[in-house]
Structure 1
């Protein structure tokens, strides 16, 4: 199996957005990743290409990226080949961040069960490294947008001690990464979202 080795010290770094099937709007929040990249390059010494790539779950190209981001509001479907390829990507060193943009969870959970039938999504402890790699979040995942009045949750799949998949729910980090004029979030809220995003990026690159 191909083993991926990534580092913050790499001369060239790239991240990617996951284009999935099922009808969900995988392309939601178009300014989110470019803004997060700029924040990371300016503040945590990454040198990420300013334009994120787009990859599909079944492509060999996914193995080029230490961090893949997935978002949307609706349906998600992984076929058998995509399940196998995505599983291999994660087990060989890749990292997938899934940010529920509201309404994605019921569709996503059945696909995650196909991806790792023997794993259970675990609530990530507030003392996990992902909450302190660059910025301190002692209370865990920040709340960026209100939807159903539920607390934000950071859930994940682990392989040994390594977090390989992060699912952020009832937080809406991606909305907080978008251009300020899109959601009119206060700067303090956008800052929290970007700082948490930087933590996720840094964890994915150095773990």
Structure 2
């Protein structure tokens, strides 16, 4: 049976795990826009990723649970890394944008994934401009520390999704004070979907090298977010 698109799935949210100092995968749930888009690849992706991350590293991780938070949930302050998927359908309210801005400025690291083509980019960019109005969104080079925080990634080519061969994967970022020498605050996977590769990594739907690369990028993002 082929993977179901997120639009065909029911949105089921598991209970959040209690905060106990272990690394918890946090997914952001937006309230405006397509109501289920935030749940793409949930929760299989985070379960698979936490199993791999726990085996690869000495990190204490929640393998059997994860969290979903709306952008203005005060509990988000407990967690330094968060994942936003399908931002081509994301329309943050003023309150949500302010809360996410404050979280980022206090040290939060945001991973943005799974969106394609100019229409979805325009929606994402408008939302991010509400969050960080002065931010510059700039391409990242393979030499950036985020690509070498755990695995040493040698190329940013080759992650084109089989379902969208016309879209070349692009990696972009937002730095603190728009200074590339300072902390990367947001990493953006455009024309890419590492979450999808991780969700189906055990089912054989995608080439092994793409699934492996997805785990490498995701691991580097988390390690960077925890160490910067």
Answer whether TM exceeds 0.5 for this pair. Answer: yes
1:73 CA drift (Å): 6.7
1:132 to 135, 142, 148: 148
Contact 1:141 1:196 (8 Å CA) reproduced: no
CA distance in 2, matches of 1:19, 1:102: 19
Aligned to 2:92: 78
Partner of 1:4: none
- Corresponding residue of 1:91: 105
Whether 2:21 is the aligned partner of 1:19: answer: no
> SS at the partner of 1:133?
coil
Aligned to 1:150: 167
Deviation at 1:190, TM superposition (A): 0.9
Match of 2:48 in 1: 35
Query: Is contact 1:154-1:167 (8 Å) kept?
Result: yes
In 2 relative to 1, CA 144–150 (structure 1 residues): closer, same or farther, beyond 3 Å?
closer
Deviations 1:118-158 (A, max 9, x none): 11101112111111111111213650513152321111111
Question: Scaled by the length of structure 2, what TM-score is found?
Answer: 0.80
Contact 2:23 2:62 (C-alpha < 8 Å) held by counterparts: yes
User: What is the aligned-residue RMSD (CA, Å)?
Assistant: 2.0
SS of aligned partner of 2:214: helix
**1:108 and 2:120 aligned:** no
Question: Any unmatched runs of 5+ in structure 2?
Answer: 1-19
How many residue pairs are counted as aligned between the two chains?
Answer: 198
Contact map agreement 1:18 1:56 (CA 8 A) in 2: yes
* Residues 117 and 101 (structure 1), Cα distance of their counterparts in 2 relative to 1, 3 Å cut: closer
Structure 1 residue ranges without an equivalent (≥5): 1-9
Q: Distance in 1 between matches of 2:153 and 2:52?
A: 17
Offset at residue 44 of structure 1 (A): 2.1
Question: Comparing 127-136 with 93-102, which one deviates more in the overlay?
Answer: 93-102
TM-score (norm. length: structure 1): 0.88
